[in-house]
Amino acid sequence: MSETLLTVKELGVAIGGAEAVRELTFRIEPGETLAVVGESGAGKSLTAKAILGLLPQRSAVTGSMELDGHQLVGAGRSVYRRLWGRTLGYVPQDALTVLSPVHTVAEQLASSAGLVQGLDRRSARRAALAALESVGIAAERADAYPHEFSGGMRQRAVIAMATINGPKLIVADEPTTALDPRIQAQVLELLGSMCEQTGAALMLVTHDHDVVKAYADRVLAMRRGRQIPYVPEDADRPARTPVADPAPLLSVRDLTVDYAGTGRAVDGVSFDIAEGETLALIGESGCGKSSTASAVLQLRRPESGSVVFEGQELTRMTGAALRAVRPAIQPVLQDPYGSLSPRLTAGRAVAEPLRIQGRWNEDSPARIAELFDRVGLAPELADRYPHELSGGQCQRVNIARALVCEPRLLVLDEPTSALDPSLRQGILDLLRGLQERLGHGYLFICHDLSLVRGFAHRVAVMREGRIVETGPASQVRSPVAR
């Protein structure tokens, strides 16, 4: 049997004196996949960051972590500089935390290959293009900037960056949360194939039990910083009954969105959302779902088409008129960290819309506290900054911020992608209860058909910028949706 690659014994991690990981012991063998599962805040990401040497400065680490002959507890930056890339690869939950907005994707991968492998400029670019192609990004898109990629494409680029130098251990922290099932399977199979070919190991942090079942050799389950026995979770929920005689809330007709240099992202999309109705928009990564949402929100002006909300044509509105409508149409965006200001605490982020709209009053602090409770956030988290929260906690802050405006329509772009299953269903139950009481309409963007069936009234399936199928959630059987 080959020598163990990573041995962790009695690992403890404290943040500002508070214990977050306690007495954790596990090992990873060369070429195997260890899945680390648990609820949001269980300590999964902190464990991964402890191994990677990426914990915040106020952290204290105890115990032992030995990787390929190197003791990581107490190791300085000089040790990690020799390990990053060559021995350790990292795929974070949020691609934008590692992708520079001012350099093309190919430039960033070539820089990594040149620095770690000592390649010249031409050889480094060839390596970058090969790595991008291996994760499904064509050479003609390699010179695009990160903001020109969909969320799924950005995550694939990050995976290419993590694997380009052939590390012995890849730590992947929720690497497929932004991807549709087909691309998710491709990415995980790619990582698995690379591990088989090179003998590398994969530490996969996830809350998706289907991923665990399909790809993990062993499982480390965590709760409140400790290891617990792993129990698979499965739950099916019945589909919702379509809204009877719906009154129009949002009407989209012949919507077209183009991007310079990359062509048409949305091509003639039409749909309606009634009061009290949820329309799920599902499809592959890059099919135009998020571009459609941006056009509905008027964050991206469409080239043509109509977006009518409560009888008002939004595409013709500008300035004060559009600002007056925005509180009634609120987004919950796909990227939990990127949609929060790093300079605002969670409490101030939720309160900010009320202050901007001039609606802050003596009752507002109680309203903020109530929203924190309803989305499953402890009161003390209101004083923390985004980087001090988990991805799931950040996404719940985003949902609370949207709800504080008392909107009529929520545009939810993968709102639960960063949440573990138990908390995910709690958020959906919250949204459903609000909808039943107040008549909200939801445009719910997702790639999980089973989740859609338990939450949406109708489903619209997108492929290559067009809606190819629409129907009740219980009846849609498109291969793309699956």
pLDDT in single tens digits along all 482 residues of the chain: 458 899 999 999 998 888 889 999 999 999 899 999 987 778 898 999 999 999 888 889 999 999 998 999 988 888 998 899 889 999 887 788 889 999 999 999 999 999 999 999 999 999 999 999 888 888 999 999 999 987 778 888 988 898 899 899 999 988 876 566 666 777 788 778 777 877 789 999 987 777 888 889 999 999 889 999 987 754 445 567 667 666 789 999 999 999 876 788 999 999 999 999 999 998 877 789 989 999 999 999 999 999 999 999 999 999 999 999 999 999 988 777 888 999 999 999 999 999 998 889 998 999 999 999 888 889 999 999 998 988 778 888 998 999 898 899 999 988 876 566 556 777 788 788 878 877 889 999 987 776 777 789 999 999 889 999 888 877 775 443 34
Residue limits of CATH 3.40.50.300 in the chain: 6-228, 248-472
Going by C-alpha positions, the residue among 331, 268, 280, 275 that lies closest to residue 465 is 268
With a threshold of 0.85, does the pTM exceed it? no
Dist. CA 154–CA 383, nearest whole Å: 30
- Which residues, 6 or more positions from 215, have their beta carbon under 8 angstroms from its beta carbon? 33, 35, 188, 192, 204
3-state secondary structure of 41: coil
Rounded Cα distance, 139 and 104, in Å: 12
Topology of the domain comprising 248-472: Rossmann fold (3.40.50)
Determine the Cα–Cα distance for residues 470 and 242; give it in Å rounded to an integer.
13
Q: Return the CATH architecture of domain 6-228.
A: 3-Layer(aba) Sandwich (3.40)
Q: What is the C-alpha to C-alpha distance for residues 20 and 283, in angstroms, rounded to an integer?
A: 37
